[in-house]
Amino acid sequence: MASFFDRQQAAFAASVTSAGSKLSGMSTGTKRALAPPSPSPSVGSTASANVGGTTPRKDRDTPNLTTSIVYSQPERTGTGNNAIAQLAYTVQWLRSKGDPQTYQDVLSYLSLLGQSEAEQEFFVEQMRRHPGIQWVPDPDLSEQTWRSGTYLHRPIIPNVRSKTQLLAYLQKKTDASGVNVKDLKDGWPNCDAALTDLEADHRILVVRQKKDNAARTVWADDPSLFHEMDSDFKLMWAKCEVPPLDSIVQRLKAAGQKPTSEDPRDKIMAPKEIKKKKRVQRKTNKSTNTHMEHLLKDYSHVRK
């Protein structure tokens, strides 16, 4: 009877023999070519694969071009369909009209008469809350509704549409601040000619832009404070030559007068003193055995 070791040796020899026969067959026979990598599935292949009834696997990285939505771009909902844009158009339209307009006139201009009654009522409430729109209630009604009353443009500076009204508004101001012409044109668009006339009559002071000489800010002026200068005096003043700044200080000192500003060249800059830091001496022979100081004393001078 064969031992366990003999059986293991026989099995190992048989496996080596079979492996050798396989290797020899591969070397003498035709070598099998490696299969090329499978290409990515095309649209036609996926369509043909779906004919058999199997559902193709969806690639989560490939979006569906027919149903994909770009969420980073706003949805195109038209121009001026929201309430904010409609209110801005209403303010511009009321400014150009000037006369009171009913809610039906406003909704007809905005093409909103086809909306429901609830939507129209909501828009009318937003108009009455807008700071640039003034609602005038109907005096013949004791109880107002959302359909009653008329609407006007409310300018930033109210009740200023003429020269007299502008002068009265400037006289009523309690501070020294000027009036912005941009705010003035909100209720009086064609005020440029009137401002030029008032400036020529010395009724207002105008600050203009350097680029186009347009009026930017106006203040109240008093024509009684204006005095016409003689033409001869203007010519004499134009001929006066102003000396340079360096000679003005010297001439004032030579005449015995004190100049308002001292000549910077007279000031002698004294050199700054550099302070040297004192070096702190540190004790290196620090004794820690203070309880033994009487034993560590030097008694060499006591020797005989």
pLDDT in tens, 158-203: 889 999 999 999 999 988 889 999 999 998 988 999 999 999 999 9
**Same-fold call for 83-153 versus 163-225:** yes
CA dist 95 and 158 (Å) reads 12
For the ranges 69-73, 82-86, 295-299, which has the lowest average pLDDT?
A: 69-73
CA dist 222 and 218 (Å) reads 13
Asked if the model's pLDDT at residue 40 lies above 60, the reply is no
CA dist 166 and 41 (Å) reads 80
Asked if the model's pLDDT at residue 288 lies above 90, the reply is no
β-partners of residue 207 are 217
Residue 296's pLDDT is 73
Answer whether 151's CB lies under 8 Å from 106's CB. Answer: yes
| Structure tokens given for 184 | 């003035």
Residue 279's pLDDT is 77
Task: List pLDDT tens digits, range 259-277.
Answer: 776 656 666 665 677 777 7
83-153 to CATH, choices 1.10.10, 3.40.50, 1.10.3470, 1.20.120 = 1.10.10
Most confident of 146-150, 237-241, 283-287: 146-150
CATH code, 163-225 = 1.10.10
Domain assignments of the chain as residue spans, ordered by start: 83-153, 163-225
Long-range interactions of 100-109: CB distance < 8 A, separation 24+: 100/136, 100/150, 100/151, 100/152, 101/150, 101/151, 101/152, 102/150, 102/151, 103/127, 103/146, 103/147, 103/149, 103/151, 106/151
DSSP structure string for the chain: ---HHHHHHHHHHHHHHHHHHHHHHHHHSPPPPPPPPPPPP-HHHHHHHTTTTPPPPPPTTS--TTT---TTS-----SS-SHHHHHHHHHHHHHHH-S-B-HHHHHHHTT-TTS-HHHHHHHHHHHHH-TTEEEE--TT-SS--TT-SEEEE--SSTT--SHHHHHHHHHH--SS--EEHHHHHHH-TT-HHHHHHHHHTTSEEEEE-TTT--EEEEEE--GGG--PPPHHHHHHHHHPPPPPHHHHHHHHHHTT---SS--GGG---PPPP-PPPPPPPPP------GGGTTTS---GGG--
CA dist 134 and 151 (Å) reads 6
